[in-house]
């Protein structure tokens, strides 16, 4: 009888203590709370997704145990499925770890995002230029003070492009189009590996493609024919110049093409001058 009472008391104490501990992890090892909604984080380019770990108020998250997304390239768009748990306005915290040599720096940001009709918020993320891999931790806090946390690994460089032949090979892997001319972007503006000129009858007689280190590119079409009067030259800050004949097949002209990026959008500026 005494043994039965002691076992009952012990079971009650364990149940009470269990209510004061961090919620159990799921079968992937990610801490979860059955009473809270899940937050799903995904990368648009690859579709890779993880369930954010949940840590109740008063519990610190464990860095090495956090669910991880890995960037396939230098930038991507992060989608968070939050449902209606946070309302329309969502505050997303970021601790971005960058490195120079043996020293590191934590860049802390808070992004005020607006959820769409599906309860999803999006944020453009990217590698910031360290000399080694970078990592970023993202977290959302709920009304009870708990945190949804995950991290993203941002590799140093997916591709290394040091010659024009390597640039052509990188471009061909994505586009599969013969290259007329190319030049390296030696300043790495907008994370560009270089600029390629090629023909695409379905798009434009002459295409100027600004190619990233991951092989993805943005192009602008020009109704002209390439000439060798002025070689393709990179002028810096994502600007190139070259010579081509205009639409009326008159004398060759100098074309200057400028590429820029504004958030998730890209812009081109084309100027045509006499040589």
> What's the whole-number mean pLDDT along residues 91-108?
86
What pLDDT, on the 0 to 100 scale, is given for residue 133?
80
Cα–Cα distance between 161 and 170 in angstroms, integer? 8
Question: Dihedral of the CA atoms 69, 72, 73, 76 (nearest 10)?
Answer: -50
Supply the pLDDT for residue 244. Answer: 92
pLDDT digits (tens, 9 = 90+) for 79-88: 999 998 888 8
Q: DSSP assignment of 186-252, as one string? A: TT-GGGEEEEEEEEETTTEEEEEEEEETTS-EEEEEESSEE-SSS--EE-SSSEEEEEEE-TT--S-
The predicted-structure confidence for 39-98, as pLDDT tens digits, reads as follows: 999 999 899 999 999 999 888 888 889 999 998 877 789 999 999 888 889 999 999 998
Six token digits for residue 69 = 């997304």
Query: What confidence tens digit (pLDDT) does each residue in 17-39 have?
Result: 333 344 455 544 555 555 678 99
Which of the pair, 131 or 272, is modelled with greater confidence? 272
Average pLDDT, integer, range 200-205: 84
Per-residue confidence (pLDDT) for residue 24, from 0 to 100 = 52
Predicted pLDDT at 129: 65
Q: Are 106 and 190 in contact (CB under 8 A)?
A: no
- CA separation for the pair 153, 135 (Å, rounded): 5
Q: pLDDT tens digit string along 135-158?
A: 999 999 988 889 999 999 987 655
Residue written as tokens 């002028």? 235
pLDDT of residue 130: 58
Mean pLDDT for all residues in the chain: 82
The whole-number average pLDDT for the span 188-206 is: 88
What's the CA gap between 230 and 52, in Å, rounded? 54
Q: Tens digits of per-residue pLDDT, 219-249?
A: 999 988 899 889 999 999 999 999 998 766 6
């Amino acid at each position: 009888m005494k043994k039965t009472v002691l076992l009952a008391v012990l079971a009650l104490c364990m149940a009470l203590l269990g209510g004061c501990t961090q919620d159990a992890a799921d079968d992937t090892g990610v801490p979860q709370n059955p009473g809270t909604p899940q937050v799903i984080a995904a990368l648009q380019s690859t579709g890779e997704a993880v369930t954010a770990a949940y840590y109740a108020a008063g519990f610190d998250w464990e860095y090495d145990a956090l669910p991880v997304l890995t960037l396939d390239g230098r930038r991507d768009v992060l989608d968070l499925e939050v449902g209606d748990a946070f309302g329309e306005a969502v505050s997303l915290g970021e601790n971005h770890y960058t490195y120079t040599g043996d020293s590191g720096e934590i860049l802390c940001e808070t992004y005020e995002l607006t959820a769409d009709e599906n309860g999803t918020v999006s944020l453009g993320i990217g590698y910031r230029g360290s000399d080694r891999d970078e990592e970023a931790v993202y977290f959302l806090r709920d009304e009870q003070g708990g945190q949804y946390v995950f991290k993203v690994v941002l590799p140093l460089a997916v591709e290394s492009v040091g010659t024009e032949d390597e640039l052509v090979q990188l471009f061909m892997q994505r586009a599969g189009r013969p290259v007329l001319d190319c030049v390296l972007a030696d300043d790495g503006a907008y994370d560009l590996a270089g600029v390629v000129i090629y023909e695409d009858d379905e798009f434009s007689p002459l295409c100027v493609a600004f190619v990233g280190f991951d092989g993805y590119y943005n192009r602008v079409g020009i109704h002209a024919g390439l000439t060798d009067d002025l070689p393709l030259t990179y002028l810096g800050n994502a600007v190139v110049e070259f010579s081509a004949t205009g639409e009326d097949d008159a004398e060759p002209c100098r074309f200057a093409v400028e590429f820029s990026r504004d958030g998730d959008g890209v812009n081109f500026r084309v100027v045509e001058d006499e040589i």
